[in-house]
Structure 1
């Protein structure tokens, strides 16, 4: 299915939304600083509204799940969305090593992104690339002690 001008408008709007200053700050924290090694470290932020980064976590994950849902419901071309957006796949890959215990407590965590990967070959390929990227970065990355459970 070819992307339409309406699809392009949605993609551009999604891009515009993620350049908003607070969203940029939240995305920078999620992609660059939040590297939980265990489910407990993940839950210390994700399930703790008192944690100062909890709002960043919720903002970024719900943003990417909203975008994935738009694709799954036919509001935007899957091919165009996958070509233009890799961060949601990166985030899912980042938590892949602890995804099972996460979904035991949070069954819907990044389910729409997972469904994209299962339904669209291009999304699966993008996710595989993200997994390799995450594995390479995780080996070099030393998480900030600022957010870790003590």
Structure 2
């Protein structure tokens, strides 16, 4: 059953989030993340996005943006269906960092690190499987292919 109709305030806030995504530095960070951030371990992450490096800054910009957006969603300030229909990028971000999150939470003793992103991604995956069966698996396959192509280029 769909949520009730979005309020004007929810729509306005979602448009403001979209506008923030267009900020030049965040756009660079998102592009870098999409093209370059493929990790299996925290050590992999540190190798390609070390704290204090430009890549580390990009990583934290992307994660910080989506954690905040998902926090607004989880607290009911955004309309869930409207957000899911137009902001699926956050799910791809979660999929990329998901393998390392338990280790990061343990290392830094931050059991809630990216918890809002995680909660929203879990709901999004269920929603996506319902409204568009097969799309989550197709996205995961596309990501594997992209990662493989990047690895082959790096090895050449």
The two structures have a TM-score, normalised by structure 2, of: 0.76
Determine which of 11, 18, 24 is the counterpart of 1:8: 11
**Cα separation, 2, equivalents of 1:39 and 1:123:** 24
Number of residue pairs aligned between Structure 1 and Structure 2: 142
Q: 1:43: Cα distance to partner?
A: 3.1
CA contact (8 A) 2:33 2:62 kept: yes
CA distance in 1, matches of 2:9, 2:136: 28
The 5 A counterparts of 1:83-122 are 83-106=85-108, 107-118=111-122, 120=123, 122=124
SS of 1:22's equivalent in the other structure is helix
In the alignment, is residue 31 of structure 1 matched against residue 34 of structure 2? yes
Aligned counterparts of 2:136 and 2:55: Cα–Cα separation in 1: 23
Shift of residue 7, structure 1, vs aligned partner: 1.1
Q: C-alpha root-mean-square deviation of aligned residues, in Å?
A: 2.5
**Structure 2 CA distance for partners of 1:103 and 1:126, relative to 1, 3 Å:** farther
Q: Which has the higher contact order (CA 8 A, sep 6+)?
A: 1
**Larger helix proportion, structure 1 or 2?**
2
Question: Any unmatched runs of 5+ in structure 2?
Answer: none
**Structure 1 gap segments, 5+ residues each:** 146-150
Question: How do 1:1-150 residues align onto structure 2 when only pairs under 5 Å count?
Answer: 1-44=4-47, 48-106=50-108, 107-118=111-122, 120=123, 122-126=124-128, 129-130=135-136, 132-141=138-147, 142-143=150-151
Residue 97 and residue 129 in structure 1: after superposition, are their counterparts in 2 closer, same or farther (change >3 A)? farther
Q: Which has the larger radius of gyration?
A: 2
TM-score (norm 1): 0.79
CA contact (8 A) 2:38 2:96 kept: yes
| SS in structure 1 of the partner of residue 54 of structure 2 | coil
**Matched residues in 2 for 1:27 and 1:19: separation?**
10
> Which residue in the other structure is 1:148 paired with?
none
